[in-house]
């Protein structure tokens, strides 16, 4: 099994990504680090801890940064806010309609930055990161520990888009929340794969597959199905986002060869710009040879492979 840390802002689709990762045969989830994003850290961290303990996973859960490196999340979350009378993408507390039992357990004694560093040292250069929220924790870890960049084997991140955005016309939510963090990570020299909107906006779970997941019948399957039902309700009643598995697709990309097709490009984030703030620049056209590729960019997704993987991870919860 490959050692990974998942950095997340749980979050409905983050929660599904965690259930898949924790049950996936390919991964040894050494720790989960939490960050503010979809909702504040005071929700994302307990959501993560309570979810893991409810499902019987004794994995370390560490608290990370309550805010982006140099911005206010409320400014970002207001961009493109929905009309009054609708409910936000992840619900009030980040978990849709799901109420998790309070486990009463403890967070890991170290914060996210120190947890990432500790595990990177312990894994001797083999640790991979799967970042599915704003990249604040990862960037701060790289700033605090300059040797960390040589200890991380790969970063898989959900964020950005070569084309378009979902929070502004050109910016994806995770990147827009903390563009400076994304820039620092992208320019760190660590090998990385971007799983952006180009593929994740194709990764909706069809209604029949949602019902099949519920039929698995375990606690893990039930929580995933309850989240999917919340997403379907939002989509049907308010015309909100479909059941898009942004974050689970990033986990799948790390686990399953062929689930996404990638090409290597130079990628960076716009930290300023009248209209392009938070945009991920993907140098597909490098006619003057100025941009050295630093990132595998997912351009196509095989939904049969993805849905098969997701189902089989959740099936594993029967074991």
> C-alpha dihedral over 214, 219, 223, 226, to 10 degrees?
40
Of residues 17 and 123, the one with the C-beta less far from Ca ion: 17
Q: Per rule CB under 6 A, is residue 38 in the interface with ligand BDR?
A: yes
| 246 a catalytic residue | yes
Q: Residue 127: in which H helix or E strand, if any?
A: strand 127-131
Q: Per rule CB under 6 A, is residue 243 in the interface with ligand BDR?
A: no
Q: Which is catalytic among the residues 90, 183, 246, 279?
A: 246
CA–CA dist 89, 63 (Å, integer)? 23
Of residues 23 and 89, the one with the C-beta less far from Ca ion: 89
Of residues 174 and 269, the one with the C-beta less far from ligand BDR: 174
* Residue 256: CB atoms within 10 Å: 18
Of residues 17 and 113, the one with the C-beta less far from ligand BDR: 17
Exposed/middle/buried for residue 290 (C-beta within 10 Å: 0-12, 13-18, 19+): exposed
Residues in region 114-133 near Ca ion by CB under 5 A:
132-133
The nearest distance, CB 48 to ligand BDR, in angstroms, is 13
Nearest to 263 by CA among 293, 232, 297, 290: 297
Q: Per rule CB under 5 A, is residue 96 in the interface with Ca ion?
A: no
Of residues 128 and 172, the one with the C-beta less far from ligand BDR: 172
Q: Per rule CB under 5 A, is residue 11 in the interface with Ca ion?
A: yes
Nearest to 279 by CA among 179, 139, 133: 179
The nearest distance, CB 252 to ligand BDR, in angstroms, is 14
Candidates 3, 5, 6, 14; binder of Ca ion (CB under 5 A) is 14
Q: What, of Ca ion, ligand BDR, none, does residue 60 touch, CB below 5 to 8 Å by kind? A: none
Residues in region 118-157 near ligand BDR by CB under 6 A:
132-133
Residues recorded for the chain: 319
Contact 65, 95 (CB under 8 A): no
Contact 164, 54 (CB under 8 A): no
Q: Is the backbone peptide bond immediately before 11 cis, with ω within 30 degrees of 0?
A: yes
Q: Which residues are catalytic?
A: 246
| Interacting residues with ligand BDR (CB under 6 A) | 11, 13-14, 38, 89, 132-133, 158, 166, 172-174, 246-247
């Amino acid at each position: 099994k490959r050692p990974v840390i998942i950095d997340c802002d749980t979050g409905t689709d983050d929660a599904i990504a965690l259930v898949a990762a924790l049950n996936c045969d390919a991964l040894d989830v050494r720790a989960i680090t939490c960050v503010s994003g979809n909702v504040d850290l005071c929700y994302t961290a307990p959501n993560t801890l309570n979810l893991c303990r409810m499902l019987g996973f004794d994995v370390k859960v560490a608290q990370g940064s309550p805010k982006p490196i140099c911005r206010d999340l409320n400014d970002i979350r207001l961009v493109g806010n929905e009309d009054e009378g609708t409910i936000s993408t992840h619900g009030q507390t980040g978990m849709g309609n799901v109420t998790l039992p309070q486990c009463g357990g403890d967070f890991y004694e170290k914060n996210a930055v120190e947890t990432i560093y500790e595990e990177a040292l312990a894994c001797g250069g083999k640790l991979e990161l799967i970042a599915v929220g704003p990249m604040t924790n990862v960037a701060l870890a790289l700033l605090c520990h300059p040797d960390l960049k040589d200890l991380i084997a790969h970063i898989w991140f959900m964020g950005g888009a070569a084309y378009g955005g979902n929070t502004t016309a050109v910016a994806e939510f995770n990147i827009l929340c903390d563009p400076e963090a994304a820039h620092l990570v992208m320019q760190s020299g660590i090998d990385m794969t971007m799983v952006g909107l180009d593929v994740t906006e194709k990764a909706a779970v069809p209604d029949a597959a949602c019902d099949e997941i519920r039929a698995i019948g375990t606690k893990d399957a039930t929580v995933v199905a309850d989240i999917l039902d919340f997403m379907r309700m939002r989509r049907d009643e308010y015309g909100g986002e479909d059941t898009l598995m942004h974050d689970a697709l990033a986990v799948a990309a790390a686990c399953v060869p062929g689930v996404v097709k990638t090409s290597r490009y130079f990628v960076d984030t716009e930290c300023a710009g009248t209209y392009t703030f938070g945009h991920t620049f993907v140098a597909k056209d490098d006619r003057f040879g100025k941009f050295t590729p630093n990132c595998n960019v997912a351009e196509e997704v095989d939904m049969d492979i993805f849905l098969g993987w997701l189902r089989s991870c959740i099936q594993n919860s029967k074991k």
